[in-house]
């Protein structure tokens, strides 16, 4: 039973997250011949204020770039 865990910053739509789950499931099916019903996917969303790169949070980075 493949277990795929993804940690990503919050901010994506439910549709985007659904596409990610489907793509990861399909990738496991193709790569290791896993049946779809055996593939487990967990998405962990982290607030941008709790994710930092180079000492700067994603929230700070987004504020500085306006995106």
Range of the domain at 28: 3-65
Active site residue 35: no
| Tokens matching residue 24 | 């990861």
DSSP H helical segments within 1-67, as ranges? 14-32, 58-65
| Tokens matching residue 25 | 């499931």
pLDDT of 65 reads: 87
Q: In the chain, how many domains are there?
A: 1
pLDDT of 5 reads: 98
Whole-prediction pTM: 0.85
pLDDT of 43 reads: 98
pLDDT of 66 reads: 77
- The answer on pLDDT for 57 being more than 90 is yes
- pLDDT tens, residue by residue, 1-48: 999 999 999 999 999 999 999 999 999 999 999 999 999 999 999 999
**Which of 2, 14, 35, 47 is the catalytic position?**
2
Counting Cα atoms < 13 Å in the Cβ hemisphere of 13 gives: 3
């Amino acid at each position: 039973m493949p277990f795929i865990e993804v940690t990503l910053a919050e901010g994506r739509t439910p549709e985007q997250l659904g596409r990610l789950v489907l793509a990861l499931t399909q990738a496991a099916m193709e790569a290791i011949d896993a049946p779809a019903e055996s593939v487990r996917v967990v998405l962990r969303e982290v607030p941008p204020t709790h994710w930092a790169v180079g000492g700067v949070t994603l929230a700070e980075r987004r504020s500085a770039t306006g995106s």
